[in-house]
Amino acid sequence: MKIAIIGAGSVGTALGKAWSRAGHDIVFGVRDPTSSNARSAAESAGAKARSTTVAEAGALGEVVVLATPWEATESAIGAAGSLAGKIVIDCTNPLAYRDGELGLAVGFDGSGGERVAAWAPKAHVFKALNQVGYLAMEDAKFPDGFPAMFVAGDDAERKPAVLHLMTEIGFEAVDAGPLKVSRLLEPYAMLWIHLAYNQGLGRDFAFSLLRR
């Protein structure tokens, strides 16, 4: 599958490596394809990977993955052109500082995932990969089992393909329901961030699901 990753930072690079190991073709959509970040992300995502403009990547990708800072996400979607009919995986978290504390810019009666769907009309938007750190995206093998990856999205026909993309890179993919469940998955990411940075867990952990 041709996967366009918009943003070649920590998350974009990690996902490019992981999906290229799973056999997918990766193209990064970046503001400056000649930058050292853009070049090293492409180098690390296999021989066929390359970095290009956001517009070209948006046009090429069968799946378009958003790995941009929240504040850049609307303009990145605009630069990607029409994403109508494509699967869009939104990894972003709508982070913002309020009174010096990191929190969510959107919540309770809305979510970043739903905003993304409004900015990309007719795309099939899924929220996923926002709930763990990039280290787990690059390598999801943990000694105690598989990390869970909740996927929220409205398109039942395409959801199995998105769940499969999670499974391929080592997650236990869990259908979390419709896109508006992003309202739960984004605060859930805040819990991960809080544990990592305030509670001393560090960045190399993920949540898993136990059943009886």
Ligand X SMILES: NC(=O)c1ccc[n+]([C@@H]2O[C@H](COP(=O)([O-])OP(=O)(O)OC[C@H]3O[C@@H](n4cnc5c(N)ncnc54)[C@H](OP(=O)(O)O)[C@@H]3O)[C@@H](O)[C@H]2O)c1
Read out DSSP for 104-124?
ESS-SS--HHHHHHHHSTTSE
Bridge partners of residue 4, in order along the sequence: 27, 64
Q: Which of residues 61-80 bind ligand X (CB under 6 A)?
A: 67-70, 72, 75-76, 79
Q: How many residues bind ligand X (CB under 6 A)?
A: 28
The pair of structure tokens assigned to 164 is 């499969």
Position 31 contacts ligand X (CB under 6 A): yes
Looking at 20, 92, 111, 182, which residue binds ligand X (CB under 6 A)?
Answer: 92
The reply on whether position 44 binds ligand X by CB under 6 A is no
Q: State the minimum distance, in angstroms, from the CB of residue 50 to ligand X.
A: 15
Q: Quote the distance between the C-alpha of residue 1 and its chain's center.
A: 16
By CB under 6 A, tell whether 37 contacts ligand X: yes
Region from 24-32, 42-50, 103-111, 164-172 binding ligand X, contact rule CB under 6 A: 24-32
Q: Are 133 and 203 in contact (CB under 8 A)?
A: yes
Q: Who contacts 103 (Cβ-Cβ below 8 Å, separation ≥6)? A: 95, 96, 97, 190
- With tokens 């938007």, the residue in question is 125
Residue 156 vs 200, nearer CB to ligand X: 200
CB nearer ligand X, residue 87 or residue 104: 104
Cα torsion 23, 117, 189, 109 to 10°: value is -160
What is the smallest separation between the CB atom of 178 and ligand X, expressed in angstroms? 20
Alpha carbon distance 140, 143 (integer Å) = 10
121 to 160, contacts with ligand X by CB under 6 A?
A: 130, 133-134
The footprint of ligand X (CB under 6 A) covers: 6-12, 30-32, 35, 37, 54, 67-70, 72, 75-76, 79, 91-93, 95, 130, 133-134
